[in-house]
DNA sequence: ACGAATATCTATCAGATGATAGTATTCTTG
DNA sequence: CAAGAATACTATCATCTGATAGATATTCGT
């Protein structure tokens, strides 16, 4: 694997160098991306094949190379697309939380925003059928770091954990960057994620047939309860 | 993938049908298994190759087929080995918890045992260098169910979640099988697992270079705090 | 010690897979 | 409306991968 990069002959984005017209090309590119998002969500990078993707997208194999430079470029493009969609869905809650962190120092305000942020995350994860695949994509890349790890870490994990940790620190009344607050942030986020990436276990354990609105409500209620205990837990 | 099983020509365990003597064979088998455990822990089923494994084990390729019937059989054998080792490490705590559930109905007793069970799980995950790979194996198989899913679900997930959920139900004073208790059990376990399967994010976020005894102590302390809040959280 | 069961190797196959070469078609723009 | 850029295809390669065939060496009970 990972043969020594034999001189990058072509940039990942072989296209879009010139006039940037030609809307038909953009449509095809988009269609391939959508199919790839699904494919890489379903199975691992290695297990997904460019042939299947090109077939499902209704184009020939070299078209993938043409638009994305190769399998790896396509994978990267998928990561960027996921980041993009995630941002659109959670930007509002994150921005409000950041604003509140600057303006209002009250612990209870932070608690409200923390619930909103986690709620937005969970809503994103359960909000669409595709999100399941995206969650798998992200979880897989986190576990087996590949070409998309940095993209996802910088744009998803870092800001997400950072905001969460700051809110928790505020609730706990400890300085920002406090290790205990960061650990709690990780615990909380991984709990939320588990309901999508650990989907199969959840379904079996809860004897659910799907994770939809009702199920999400139960999960959110449990997460909210957990958030409510932050700063109120005094061992014994 | 998953081509229609073309009539099982040879059983998974091609060996051990007759006298079961020949200790040299058993040694080889064990060596291959150990290498495979590492390999399947490092990368996905698809990405791991039987060639690499056989090389690392110092045997020729057909030897894998001889002992395990093929790649899939080897994978299954790995799952069984993980189950076996997990059991050895956590059986004591699980047995004590089960006993306590029958004999002592006090919530606080259940709380103590819950901490012990989660502690044993976390200890197993951080206890050895290999456990990291095992955690990845299990997490991967949970995410992308393959030939080992049932083995792992029945022997790891189900008993683990079940015990945890029963203890939590006892603490909450609700009947066994209560959905809220089960959700909390899933939240708790996934939190604990995240510290090994989500290792890379944890290391970066916490600015740790490794997850050893000291780090485990911090995580356990956070988990214990979380367990302490169960049954004491009254929203607002 | 001898023969059957066991263990292990070399050589090779068939299929899948990512990628490239070379060519035809279509669209935009001067 | 040409001309050139952009789009997209067919055919083909080189490599990797899991698996098998068939031969050879090793071990152990009698």
Lowest mean pLDDT across A99-103, A161-165, B164-168, B209-213: B209-213
Q: Which of B149, B14, B131 is nearest to B73 (CA)?
A: B14
Could you say which of B44, B46, B200 has the minimum Cβ distance to residue A145? B200
Candidates A75, A72, A73, A74; CA nearest to A2 is: A72
Asked if A152 and A138 touch (Cβ cutoff 8 Å), the reply is yes
Q: Over 80: is that where the pLDDT of B1 sits?
A: no
Query: What string of pLDDT tens digits covers the 236 residues of chain A?
Result: 332 233 333 333 344 444 456 677 788 999 999 999 999 999 999 999 999 999 999 999 999 999 999 999 999 999 999 999 999 988 998 999 999 999 988 999 999 999 999 999 988 888 788 888 898 899 899 888 899 999 999 999 999 999 999 999 999 999 999 999 999 999 999 988 888 888 889 999 999 998 888 999 999 999 999 999 888 765 43
- The CB-side HSE value for A64 (13 A sphere, CA atoms) comes to 26
Domain spanning A23-71, CATH class = mainly alpha
pLDDT value at residue B170: 96
Using the predicted structure, report yes or no on whether residue B187 has a pLDDT greater than 50. yes
Q: Could you read off the pLDDT of B85-128 as tens digits, one per residue?
A: 999 989 999 999 999 999 988 999 999 999 999 999 988 888 78
Cα(A24)–Cα(A7) distance, integer angstroms = 31
Beta carbons of A229 and B224 less than 8 Å apart: no
Of A183, A226, A229, the CB nearest to B187: A226
pLDDT over 90 (residue B151): yes
- Percentage of residues of chain B with pLDDT beyond 90: 68
Asked if residue A63 keeps its beta carbon closer than 7 A to nucleic acid strand D, the reply is yes
Of A46, A145, A179, the CB nearest to B46: A46
Q: Is the pLDDT assigned to residue B162 strictly greater than 70?
A: yes
How far apart are the C-alpha atoms of A161 and A177, rounded to whole Å? 11
CB contact under 8 A, B198 and A46: no
The domain ranges of chain B are 23-71, 78-229
Q: Among all strands, which nt has the closest C1' to B3 (CA)?
A: C15
Q: Chain A to chain B, count of Cβ pairs less than 8 Å apart?
A: 146
What DSSP string runs through B101-150?
Answer: HHH---HHHHHHHHHHHHHHHHHHHHHSHHHHHHHHHHHHHHHS--TTHH
Cβ atoms of B141 and B70 within 8 Å: the answer is: no
Q: How far is A17 from chain B (nearest CA, A)?
A: 35
Nearest to B129 by CA among B210, B50, B58: B210
Q: What is the pLDDT of residues B45-92, one digit of tens each?
A: 999 999 999 999 999 999 999 999 999 999 999 999 999 999 998 999
Q: Distance of CA A209 to CAs A117, A142, A201, B162, Å?
A: 27, 27, 11, 19
What architecture is domain B78-229? Orthogonal Bundle (1.10)
- Quick one: tokens of B151? 């083995």
Closest to B53 (Cα-Cα) out of B72, B68, B40: B40
Helix boundaries (H) for B46-70: 50-57, 61-68
Lowest-confidence pick of A8-22, A216-230, B21-35, B143-157: A8-22
Q: How many CA atoms lie within 13 A of B200 on its CB side?
A: 17
Architecture of domain A79-229: Orthogonal Bundle (1.10)
Q: Indicate yes or no: CB of A235 within 8 angstroms of CB of B228.
A: yes
- Asked if A23-71 and A79-229 have one fold, the answer is no
Query: Is B71:B36 a contact under the CB 8 Å cutoff?
Result: no
């Amino acid at each position: 694997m990972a043969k020594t990069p034999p001189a990058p002959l072509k940039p990942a984005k072989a296209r879009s160098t010139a006039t940037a017209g030609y809307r038909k090309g953009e449509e095809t590119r988009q269609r391939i991306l959508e199919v790839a998002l699904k494919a890489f969500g379903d199975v691992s990078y290695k297990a997904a094949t460019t042939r299947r993707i090109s077939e499902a997208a209704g184009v020939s194999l070299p078209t993938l190379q043409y638009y994305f430079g190769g399998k790896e470029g396509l994978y990267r493009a998928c990561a960027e697309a996921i980041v993009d969609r995630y941002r659109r869905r959670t930007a509002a809650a994150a921005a409000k939380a950041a604003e509140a962190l600057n303006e209002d120092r009250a612990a209870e305000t932070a608690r409200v925003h923390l619930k909103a942020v986690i709620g937005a995350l969970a809503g994103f994860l359960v909000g669409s059928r595709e999100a399941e695949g995206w969650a798998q994509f992200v979880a897989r890349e986190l576990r087996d770091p590949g070409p998309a790890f940095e993209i996802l870490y910088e744009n998803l994990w870092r800001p997400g954990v950072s905001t969460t940790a700051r809110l928790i620190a505020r609730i706990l009344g400890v300085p920002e960057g406090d290790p205990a607050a960061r650990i709690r942030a990780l615990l909380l986020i991984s709990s939320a994620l588990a309901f999508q990436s650990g989907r199969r276990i959840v379904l079996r354990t809860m004897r659910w047939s799907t994770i939809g609105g009702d199920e999400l409500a139960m999960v959110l209620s449990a997460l909210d309860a957990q958030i409510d205990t932050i700063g109120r837990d005094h061992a014994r």
